[in-house]
Structure 1
Amino acid sequence: MGALVRVLRTAGELWPWYLGIILTSIGVALTSLATPFIIARATDEVVAQIGGGGGGLAPLLWLALALLVAELLNTVLTNLGGYLGDTMAMRLRAILSSRYFAKLLSLPQRYFDNQLTGAVINRLQRSISEVTQFLQMFANSFFPTLITVIAVVAISAFYSWPLAVLLVLIYPLFTWLTALTSKRWQRLEAVKNTELDAAGGRFAEVVGQIKVVKSFVRERSELDAFDGHYRRVVATTTEQSRWWHSMDILRRGSLNVIFFGIYLIVFARTAQGAFSIGDMVLLLQLVAMARTPVMMMSFLVDSSQHAIAGSASYFEVMDAEPEPHAAVSAVASPRLDGGDEPPAEPEPSPAWPAVPGAPAIAFRDVSFGYDADEEVLHGISFEVGRGEKVALVSESGGGKTTLVNLLLGLYRPDAGEIDLAGVDTAEAPLADVRREIGVVFQDASLFSGTVAENLSYGRPGASAGELEAAASRAHAHEFVARLGQGYDTLIGERGVRLSGGQKQRIAVARAMLKDAPVLVLDEATSALDSRSERLVQAGLEDLMADRTSLIIAHRLSTISSVDRIITLKDGRIDEIGTPDELAASGGIYAELLALQASSTRRSRKKLATYDITG
């Protein structure tokens, strides 16, 4: 239960709802306990009147009215407590979900390299749903049950101490038998959750790559793999359920024996004259009130086990180490009472503290490996002057994109230093580093929503005129204007309703709108046909003017217009120089030019290993 207590501490601002639930629970318990006393008194009055005594109709009328008032109050308080519990549970869900999302946003890229997207989503839905569902049920029923049980035991002790002893014996016995059940159940639940997360992760991945699945005719194998996960879930659930319910027979059977003793005491003491008929009715109702929550404890414990397993998955993510200087943290709670009011835009950061005369970009003896035992970059050192255009060239997998990832702070170098305008990026907030860099990736990476929403991702709050101007510079305005709703056209998940070239032009316009001093083009025109490339390249030339640009090129025609070229070989810098200098050096760039001039199949194959075309 410690994990569930930690969940409640996480949302400590919900204390008014906790307090309200406790107070209404006390009211529900008291009004519930009033009913057996009123019925017992009425029973004795009726028996007395049958025997020729009693006070006539008036006392019976008052007792009936008292019963009505108690039940009406119970109805109102039960629903008030239910309302508070439902509201608290949803607010708790909002807080836990927001903090989970904030935590994911703060985690380093390396975390996501080892996770299936669908598994991350499935874990969020499963863990938070199980926790909040249990706490909602707990809030709506636990406190009334607890107070009722305490009162029932106390009242029973007043009438007969053996009766109270048997009632008290129920709870430690049930808890002990449940503890015997829990350890094995939790282990099986962890196995089941692993399979469910894997199934959910693969499901999301297949749906996102459905064209690939269909084109390779892999529908059957994907379905078989998906079904395999659920077959293992079913097998684990069968074992888990058999164990749980076998133990539940023992738990509930033990309770049945104890209740047999309780009923025997009540019946015998009434027959001996120690209890009146009204007393017997009162005690039987109190025992029934105690019996119901005990019989429900199996369900409560079952739900709590799911919640404990879910909270463990939740805190496994929450306890992960965030990236240094993360742009967001999981500390603040979401705004829950803002209605439909859009969130306020963050205050702009102060200007980047550039060091006068320092190069725009500097890699100083940088080494890096995605795995601890395998480096992909070794001692990389180079500088890019302000306003300079520099191209990176290497064989496929030679480390070009890795350099961009390091510059953006998606990964931290294992050794060395990366400076941006003379400032060590390891010492600066990542949000500030990334604001200084505009990026166009090889994959356009658009979001569902409208064209305007995707463009304004580069500058939230940009006017319609600014959006249109950026789209025009990227030669996107013409095709956007032809769409059904223009800039308000929905483009589908990942821009599925646009062609590859159209998506890339939107991505280029997005970078133009950001207008950062450093521009990174990670094979930005590789998805474009020749005509689209010429259109976009014109816009990129305009964007790169008076701007520091780092270019991972796809075509030699792009490389030839840069100020300098850096070639990489086996994770090390091979050459640095102007296109003319490297053309005559006999190195990688000169080899590429020679391969381009050759028309043999072998030359074309070799050229493809550099991801370069003519």
Structure 2
Amino acid sequence: MRSILRILGTARELWPYYVGIIGTSLAMAATTLSIPFILKAATDYVVAASRGQTSGISTAIWLAAALLAADLVNSLLTNVGGYLGDTMAVKLRAALSGKYFAKLLSLPQKYFDGELTGTVINRLSRSITETANFLNMFANSLFQMVLTVIAILAITAYYSWPMAVLLTVIFPLFMWLTTRTSARWQVLEAEKNHEFDVAGGRFAEVIGQIRVVKSFVQERRELTKFNGHYNQTILTTQHQSRYWHTMDTTRRAALNVIFFGVFAILFVQTARGNFTIGVMVLLIQMVNMTRQPVFSMSFLVDSSQRAIAGSRDFFTVMAELAEADTLPAVQARADDGGRGPAGIEFDAVSFGYPGGADVLSEVAFSIRQGEHVAFVGESGGGKTTLVSLLLRLYTPSLGAIRIAGTDITDLALDDLRADIGVVFQDPSLFSGTISENIAYATPDASVEAIMAAGRAANAHDFISTFAQGYDSQIGERGLKLSGGQKQRIAVARAILKDAPILILDEATSSLDSKSERLVQEGLEHLMTDRTTLIIAHRLSTISSVDRIITLKDGRVDEIGTPEELAATSGIYAELLALQASATKKDRKRLQAFDIRG
């Protein structure tokens, strides 16, 4: 239950709802408890009237009216409390979801490297939904029920302490038996949640890459694997439910024995004349009001266990160190719009991904401000890793990276990344309009600025052919656009960002010749007066840069102009020779560099 209280504590802004729910619960408990007392008075009055000890019907009418008033007030309070509980639950869900999303956005790249997207989404849906649902039920019924039970025990003790003792024993006995059940239940619930997470993660992957699945005719295999995970949850649930309900039968049997003792005392005491008929009716009402929450407790405990399990997953994610928490605190700069091209220096940088060997070893080079530099090396040789380190998605294990002479660890992350524009091989567009995607980094950009960026990226002409123009919806990941069209939108996005440093990470590698030419024209406009790092898969792109840096086995092999490196026996010269060759062996060797000529 501590984790549930932590959940409530994370949404302190909802305290007016908490107070309102407590207030209505107290009032509901009072009206609920008043009904047995009214029935007691009515019973005693009717019994007395039947014996001729009193006359008239006005008192009976007033007692019936009092019963009606209690019922009406109770109905009103129930619905007011229900409204507050429903609103509190959805606000809590919104607050927790927002905090979860904010936390995910703050986490370093390495966290996502080890998690499936679908798994991350499934945790949000399961953990927060189950917790919010439990708290909704708690607000609408459980809290009021607990208050009512406490009052019932106090009233019962006034009339018969042995009955109160027996009723009191029910709750610790039930909770003790439930606790013995809970440990095993939690283990099984964790196993079930794991299967749900894996299935959800794979589901998101398959839907996101449905074209690949269909083209390789793997629908049946994916469905079989998906169903396999859910079938395992069925087996686990059957085991879990069989165990839970076996124990629940034991719990209920123990409670039935205790209620036998309670009713035996009540009937005997009434038969001996210690209780009037009205008091007996009152106490029967009290006992029955106790029976319902006790027998409902197994369901409530089951729901709370799910909420607790879900909240643990939530707090596990929330306990992850945010990206900013692992970095030195740096003052963000005031944005004066005075950014210009900046030089870049890698000083003996080494880096390896967790659990693997170093991808880069003592990499050292300098790029002058405004210079265009291409990186060449075999696939997997660390070219893209250089980009990730420059963006501080990862931190070098050794060495330093400087921009304009300043170590990037001395720059605020937002400032660093604001100064870098990136065009990836995968355009990575979002659902929405063309305009929204171009203005993704600058959401306040004017329509004129967006269209200017579209023209500069050679995208305006094809955008104008759409009925809605820049307001056209492009679908998830831009599925309504061709590869060349998506890439030109990505170039326009980088143009509008207007960052002094530009990274082109294989930006034209997957395009046909016509699309490449159009995109390349946009890139040349984008590269003007910008320090540019190019990871290229086209020799035509590499040949136009100021310098080339070749990487071999994670180290810098050569640095020079295209003309200088063409005259050596290094990687670039080898690439030129391989491109000129028509042999199958040389073409295969060329593929190792992912070079397409």
Letter in 2 for 1:471: G
| Deviation (angstroms), 1:525 | 1.2
Q: Which amino acid aligns with 1:500?
A: G
Match of 2:564 in 1: 581
Counterpart of 1:258 in structure 2 is 258
TM-score, length-scaled by structure 2: 0.97
What are the equivalent positions in structure 2 for 1:46-445 lying under 5 Å apart?
A: 46-324=46-324, 349-351=334-336, 360-445=343-428
- Structure-1 separation of matches of 2:320 and 2:62: 64
Q: Deviations over 1:387-438 (max 9, x none)?
A: 0000000011111101001111111111111112222222322111110000
Query: How far is 1:248 from its partner?
Result: 0.3
Structure 1 portions without partners, runs of 5+? 330-346
Give 1:570's aligned amino acid: D
How far residue 471 of structure 1 moved from its aligned partner, in angstroms, is 0.8
Query: How far apart are the structure 1 equivalents of 2:270 and 2:450?
Result: 87
State the secondary structure of the residue aligned to 1:376: strand
Deviations 1:229-250 (A, max 9, x none): 0111111101100110000001
> Hey, what's the Cα distance between the residues in 1 that align with 2:368 and 2:250?
78
Give the CA deviation at 1:359.
5.6
- Cα drift, residue 214 of structure 1: 1.1
Q: Of the candidates 575, 578, 581, which is equivalent to residue 595 of structure 1?
A: 578
**Post-superposition offset of 1:206:** 0.6
Deviations 1:141-171 (A, max 9, x none): 1221111111111111111111111110100
Q: Does the Cα contact within 8 Å between 2:342 and 2:370 map onto a contact in 1?
A: no
Deviation string, structure 1 residues 349-388 (Cα, Å, up to 9, x no partner): 425998x9x9621111110011344111000111111100
Contact 1:476 1:505 in 2 (8 A): yes
Could you tell me whether the CA contact under 8 Å between 1:106 and 1:326 is conserved in 2? no
**Residue equivalent to 2:503:** 520
> What SS does the aligned partner of 1:497 have?
coil
Say whether the 8 Å CA contact 1:326–1:429 is kept in structure 2. no
**Residues 12-51 of structure 1 mapped to structure 2, 5 A cutoff:** 12-51=12-51
Aligned partner of residue 6 in structure 1, secondary structure: helix
Identity %, equivalent residues? 62
Q: Which residue of 2 aligns with 1:509?
A: 492
AA aligned opposite 2:53: G
Q: Please give the alpha-carbon distance, in whole angstroms, between the structure 1 residues aligned to 2:114 and 2:338.
A: 35
User: Could you tell me whether the CA contact under 8 Å between 1:352 and 1:432 is conserved in 2?
Assistant: no
Q: Distance in 2 between matches of 1:359 and 1:444?
A: 25
Structure 2: which 5+ runs fail to align?
none
Q: Deviations over 1:268-288 (max 9, x none)?
A: 111111111111111000111
Counterpart Cα distance in 2 of 1:151 and 1:118? 48
SS of the equivalent of 1:222 reads helix
2:358 partner SS: coil
Decide which of 436, 444, 448 is 1:461's aligned counterpart: 444
Q: Deviations over 1:159-203 (max 9, x none)?
A: 111111111010010010000000000000000000000001101
Question: Alignment partner of 2:507: what SS?
Answer: coil
The residue type paired with residue 492 of structure 1 is: G
- Between 1:568-577 and 1:134-143, the stretch displaced more is 134-143
Q: What is the deviation of 1:324?
A: 2.9
Aligned equivalents of 1:518 and 1:373: distance in 2? 30
Q: Tell me the CA shift for residue 348 of structure 1.
A: 9.0
Tell me which residue corresponds to 1:333. none
CA distance in 2, matches of 1:326, 1:445: 27
| 1:322 CA displacement | 1.5
Distance 1:324 1:51 in 2: 83
Query: Matched residue of 1:382: which SS?
Result: strand
Q: Aligned AA for 1:452?
A: S
User: Does the 8 Å contact 2:131/2:307 carry over to 1?
Assistant: yes
Q: Is the 8 A contact 2:342 2:500 kept in 1?
A: no
1:334 matched residue in structure 2: none
Q: In structure 2, what is the equivalent of residue 473 of structure 1?
A: 456
Closer, same or farther: CA 325–147 of 1 in aligned 2, 3 Å: closer
The answer for the alignment partner of 1:540 in structure 2 is 523
Whole-angstrom distance in 2 between the partners of 1:580 and 1:326: 43
Residues 439-468 of structure 1 show CA distances to partners (whole Å, capped at 9, x for unaligned) of 000001111111111111031111111111
What amino acid is aligned across from residue 224 of structure 2 in structure 1?
Answer: D
Question: Which shifted more, 419-428 or 562-571?
Answer: 419-428
Deviations 1:107-160 (A, max 9, x none): 111111111100110010000001111111111112211111111111111111
Please tell me whether the aligned partners of residues 389 and 550 of structure 1 are also in contact (alpha carbons under 8 angstroms): yes
- 1:211-261 deviation line (CA, Å, top 9, x unaligned): 111111111111111111011111110110011000000111111111111
Secondary structure of the residue that 1:364 maps to in structure 2?
Answer: strand
- 1:180–1:353 Cα change, 3 Å: farther
Q: Which 10-residue stretch deviates more, 570-579 or 59-68?
A: 59-68
Correspondence for 1:2: 2
Normalising by structure 1, what TM-score?
Answer: 0.94
* Higher alpha-carbon deviation: 198-207 or 54-63: 54-63
Aligned residue-pair number: 594
RMSD over aligned Cα atoms:
1.7
Equivalent pair of 2:488/2:522 in contact (CA under 8 Å): no
